[in-house]
Structures are given as structure tokens and as C-alpha cells.
Structure 1
Amino acid sequence: MDTLLTYPMPFPIKVMGAKSDALVAAVAALAQQFDPSFDRASIRLRASRTGKYLGITLTITATSRTQLDGLYRALTSHPLVQVVL
């Protein structure tokens, strides 16, 4: 399968869910699982206007399509995560 991506590369992922420390911890743990070099300090948080939801942007070092697919599956199946972009 041909790809337009050149690995390894920095790859930003946006995750949204109800605002909680548990959401941030879970997303960081999954990122670390799929990218051992992931730096938790690079996480960017943005609360919704009402403060009920939290947007999390994390940037991993993508090394393959398989890695990205696995991380997306893990994130989207997590009960605290509502959206992954």
C-alpha cells in the first residue's frame, strides 16, 4: 500500500472527551504505549467554552501505518474518549 507519509515523522493527534484528569492520564498512557519516546510535557490542553469538555493535542513520532492504526483503535475504544481526529 502506497502512502504519502514519510516515517518517522511527528504526527499530531487530537482527542476530545469530558473534562477530567483521568482522560489526560489515559491518553498519555496510550500515546506512551505506542511511542515509547512520547514526551508527556508536549501535551496541549484546551477546555471547551463551557468547561465541560477537554481537547487534547498530542504529537507522537509516527513510525508506521500499523502504529498509527493501533493508536487510533486504542484511543477510539477507550470509554473516556469521545472523538479522535
Structure 2
Amino acid sequence: MTEQQPPKIEFPCQDYPIKVLGDAGDGLYQCVLEVMERHAPGFDEAAITVKDSRNGRYQSVTVWIVATGEPQLRSIHQDLTASGLVKMVI
């Protein structure tokens, strides 16, 4: 039996979604904006969605960027998780 490989992404990839989960509050949204401006300038800020968890303790922030390659995606992930505000990046 062969191991199934994940699909390869062709770069640049338009409308690549990045979902960030963390504690609810203005700090999370601001952190996501700063990281995206640094690594994916020109993303559509108007397309960002923010959803609160059922109890309001957590939020998800979804941003769509033009992904230029794996190094960019790794840098975004590292900066977001290093902030201390982010629980998970999908």
C-alpha cells in the first residue's frame, strides 16, 4: 500500500486562507494585521473575517493572502505563534 501524499500547492497561490485562533480581544486582530502586513503586503483587509467562539472566550481571524511560497508561510506561522496571543494557525 502506498502512502498518500498531500496535494502540492502551486505558488503564487491567490486567495490562500490563513485562519488564526486565539484568545478574544483587540490584541489578536492587531497582531494578525501586523504579521500579514510584514509578510503579505497588499492583502485585502476588507475580506478579513472574525468569529467569536460560542462563549466569547476565543476568536478566529481568517485572512486571505497571495501565498508566494513555503518560506513565506513558515515565517507567518512562526511570527504568529511567537506572539503569545495565538493558540493555533491553520
> When the two structures are superposed, what TM-score results if normalisation uses the length of structure 2?
0.85
> C-alpha separation between the residues in 2 aligned to 1:49 and 1:29?
26
Which residue pairs with 1:4 in the alignment?
8
Which of 40, 53, 58 pairs up with 1:35? 40
> C-alpha separation between the residues in 1 aligned to 2:57 and 2:19?
17
Larger Rg: 2
Which residue pairs with 1:65 in the alignment?
70
Q: How many residues align?
A: 83
3-state SS in 2 of match to 1:27: helix
Deviation string, structure 1 residues 12-51 (Cα, Å, up to 9, x no partner): 0111111101110111110111011112211101100001
- CA drift at 1:7: 1.1
One-letter identity of the residue aligned with 1:12: P
> C-alpha separation between the residues in 2 aligned to 1:4 and 1:14?
19
3-state SS in 2 of match to 1:57: strand
Percent identity of paired positions between Structure 1 and Structure 2: 35
> When the two structures are superposed, what TM-score results if normalisation uses the length of structure 1?
0.90
